[in-house]
Structure 1
Amino acid sequence: MDIVITGRHTQIKQKFRDVVENKMNRVTAIAPDAQRVQVVLTHEGNPRQADSATRVEMTVIAGKTVVRAEASSADEFSAFDRALDKLTLRLRRTRDRRKDHRRGLDRAPLPLDIAVDQLEEPVEETNPSNSAQQDAMASDLGPGQSVEVQVGDTPIVIRRKLHIAEPMSIDEALYEMELIGHDFFLFVNSETNRPSVVYRRHGWSYGVFEIDTPDHIK
């Protein structure tokens, strides 16, 4: 498994590298198919944030699954340990769900206080001139392509990107929402073929929005 360690606003010390590499067996024990793990160490210089000045972000690629976790603390070692605990919990949950699917079971997703995200493949972005703003926003994009357009003379920038997604059930969408650690998830409902959004409500409840046009409503 490839281990990539990078720093933002800080230098990576050899001691930190050694600690990270020595503890990666916790990841491979749960996800033996893990191909790559990326660790990003960030230090914030604001003295008011001393208790959380150091943040560690971890991203693991295991087959088609991408799992991410992050944590903050006063130093890099405790931040790394917290992020690693969250990451291994997320990996165990993913492994258990795979087992349930092989057994023909369907496990409902449960809320987790884990920050995870899907790793985006690098794409070529364009920044068109003001004269081409309208064309850029209206133009067709290919899968994974994106475009950024500044709105007039304002600091507002709109980023447009095309994602390709297979239709899925509401239960699958809830699971994906937990996987990326967001409070909502946009998907195409496989039962209605409508663009839909699942989102968190209070406690253990969820909501679903579906979108359609008046022409399709009978």
Structure 2
Amino acid sequence: METAVGRMEIVVRGRNVVVPDHYRQHVADKLNKLERYDQKIIRVDVELNHEKNPRQTGRCQHVEITCRTRGPVVRSEACAEDFYKALDLATERLERRLSQAADRRRVHHGRRNPASIAAVAADAQSLLAEPDAAQAESDNEGPGRIVREKEHPAKPMTVDQALFEMELVGHDFYLFADADSGRPSVVYRRHAYDYGLIRLTD
């Protein structure tokens, strides 16, 4: 089901979950304020899923939000005992990342000093405690299965931009086309605030 919020399209779907209309309206009300961070948001995808929580008995309620703008994709996810709390947590993380993206745009226009990489990474560290959605899904369906495939444009970018976009989507690694070498490369998170870089060679 799609809901129009200003110029922004919101799509709410459940993976093996029936999403009631009142929850869809709650999502629309909650995400309505996202446009204050970025007026160029095109679409927001919200996915609900029941999944296993390895630290608790039973299952937890998982919400994943993907915000598509004319710039980098911004993503967040959270798990909680109910979908309302999970939405609150995921929305808070998404707002922080959209705010960081807005700060970066202002930096590029010379209006303020940039936040440190350590500060950006600190926010992402909070996600490491959450179970990975793909892993949880794999646990449900048995080992050794590909449970999700994703594609994204191979737009050339610098290592610094790749690190920034990795933090925006909340991943521990990011595959990109290196603007300097033209080769497929991967940046990834190591211990604390350190990063690694892998480049393919002939």
State if a TM-score over 0.5 links the two structures: yes
CA offsets 1:120-168 (integer angstroms, 9 cap, x no match):
xxxxxxxxxxxxxxxxxxxxxxxxxxxxxxxxxxx777x9998652433
| Aligned mate of 2:35, from 25, 28, 40 | 28
How far apart are 1:198 and its partner, in Å?
2.1
**8 Å Cα contact 2:76-2:169 kept in structure 1:** no
How far apart are 1:21 and its partner, in Å?
1.7
Q: Is 1:18 equivalent to 2:25 in the alignment? A: yes
How far apart are 1:31 and its partner, in Å?
1.9
1:40 aligned partner: 47
Q: Is 1:171 equivalent to 2:178 in the alignment? A: no
- Count residues with an aligned counterpart: 171
Higher alpha-carbon Rg: 1
- Residue identity in the other structure for 1:98: R
Task: Provide the rounded CA distance (Å) in 2 between the counterparts of 1:82 and 1:187.
Answer: 28
Change (3 A) 1:12 1:33: same
| Aligned mate of 1:5, from 4, 8, 12 | 12
How far apart are 1:32 and its partner, in Å?
2.1
1:85 aligned partner: 92
Task: Provide the rounded CA distance (Å) in 2 between the counterparts of 1:69 and 1:177.
Answer: 11
Paired residue secondary structure (1:197): strand
- Residue identity in the other structure for 2:40: D
How far apart are 1:38 and its partner, in Å?
1.6
Change (3 A) 1:26 1:189: same
Q: Is 1:209 equivalent to 2:198 in the alignment? A: yes
| Aligned mate of 1:100, from 104, 107, 120 | 107
Unaligned runs of 5+ in 2: 1-7, 128-143
- The more displaced of 77-86 and 59-68 is 59-68
Paired residue secondary structure (1:186): strand
- Residue identity in the other structure for 2:96: L
How far apart are 1:106 and its partner, in Å?
7.9
**8 Å Cα contact 2:72-2:165 kept in structure 1:** no
TM, length-normalised to structure 1: 0.65
| Structure with the largest fraction of helix | 2
Identical columns (%) = 38
**8 Å Cα contact 2:14-2:47 kept in structure 1:** yes
